């Protein structure tokens, strides 16, 4: 075999090897991309999937109460939950509702359990009725011979709370965010709304009168805001009130000092 023919054959082998390597690399890249995107949801679809959840997930702290027993938990006002469902879907019985069944489980004559099963439904944007899966809860109807007339009511409320949570109602409570005082304070600020123009004007006047020229910057840092323009109405009211109290205290102290000096001069 001539040298020229050998070189051509060698060149074909190299070309084939390179093509195979490129094909393998391309296949691996495609597989890696498929693995990375497998199970992910496009942003638009994710927004659509979460549109109910995002409407109802935040809880107004005014309608909650910290409970100390059973390890401690946050209790949510059931009437507030009904309000949130009505705000989201419309009047109960029209935009949403539930079916309930109750039964008694007799352990003996002095111990009877009330069991309640509920199925919550709502009407979607296409006017179709959607049902959640059934949820059952229990409460002692007769405990050691003592009758609890509210047992069925308690079990129904508990079952409804668990059902609502599947739609995202009060999700921040069930996700443990109410264990963080800072999160609760953020909710209070959000509910209060932005500070009024009058409040901002008064705060700026207070800052101007302060000897500490960095006072306003420190206030913003404490509230975790970039500018005093971002302050909420509740925090603004607190700043003004504390400043007035400090002024009153300073005035009282000065008056007392003046009185002592007058006494000494006499």
Give residue 243's pLDDT: 86
* 219 or 23, higher pLDDT: 219
Q: Is there a domain that residue 99 lies in?
A: yes
| CB-neighbour burial class of residue 154 (10 A; exposed 0-12, middle 13-18, buried 19+) | middle
Q: Is there a domain that residue 120 lies in?
A: yes
Q: How far apart are CA 169 and CA 197, in angstroms?
A: 34
Q: How far apart are CA 90 and CA 85, in angstroms?
A: 7
Characterise 95 by phi-psi region: left (phi > 0), alpha (psi -120 to 50), beta (else): alpha
Same domain, residue pair 132 and 157: yes
Average pLDDT, the chain: 84
Q: Is there a domain that residue 223 lies in?
A: yes
Same domain, residue pair 158 and 193: no
pTM summary value: 0.67
Give residue 48's pLDDT: 86
Return the minimum-mean-pLDDT range out of 92-96, 158-162, 180-184. 180-184
How many folded domains does the chain comprise?
2
Q: How confident is the model at residue 212 (pLDDT cuts 50, 70, 90)?
A: confident
Percent of all residues in the chain with a pLDDT value above 70, rounded to a whole number:
76
Same domain, residue pair 149 and 112: yes
Nearest alpha carbon to residue 123 among 37, 69, 52, 210: 52
Residue 28 reports pLDDT greater than 80: no
Give residue 258's pLDDT: 59
Q: How far apart are CA 136 and CA 105, in angstroms?
A: 13
Q: Is there a domain that residue 80 lies in?
A: yes
Q: How far apart are CA 172 and CA 73, in angstroms?
A: 13
């Amino acid at each position: 075999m001539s040298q020229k023919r050998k070189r051509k054959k060698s060149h074909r082998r190299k070309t084939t090897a390179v093509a195979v390597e490129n094909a393998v690399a391309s296949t691996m890249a495609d597989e890696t991309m498929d693995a990375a995107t497998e199970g992910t949801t496009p942003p638009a679809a994710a927004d659509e999937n979460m549109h109910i959840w995002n409407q109802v997930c935040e809880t107004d702290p005014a309608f909650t109460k910290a409970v100390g027993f059973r390890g401690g938990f946050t209790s949510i006002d059931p009437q507030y939950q009904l309000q949130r469902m009505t705000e989201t879907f419309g009047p109960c019985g029209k935009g949403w509702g539930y079916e309930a069944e109750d039964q008694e489980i007799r352990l003996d004559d002095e111990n009877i359990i009330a069991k309640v099963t509920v199925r919550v439904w709502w009407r979607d944007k296409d006017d179709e009725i959607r049902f959640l899966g059934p949820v059952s809860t229990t409460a002692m109807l007769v405990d050691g011979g003592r009758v609890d007339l509210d047992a069925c009511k308690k079990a129904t409320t508990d079952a409804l709370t668990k059902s609502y949570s599947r739609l995202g109602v009060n999700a921040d409570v069930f996700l443990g965010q109410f264990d963080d005082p800072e999160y609760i304070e953020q909710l209070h600020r959000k509910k209060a709304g932005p500070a009024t123009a009058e409040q901002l004007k008064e705060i700026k006047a207070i800052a101007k009168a302060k000897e500490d020229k960095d006072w306003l910057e420190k206030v913003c840092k404490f509230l975790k805001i970039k500018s005093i323009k971002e302050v909420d109405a509740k925090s603004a009211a607190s700043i003004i009130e504390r400043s007035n109290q400090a002024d009153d205290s300073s005035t009282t102290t000065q008056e007392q000092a003046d009185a002592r000096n007058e006494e000494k001069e006499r």
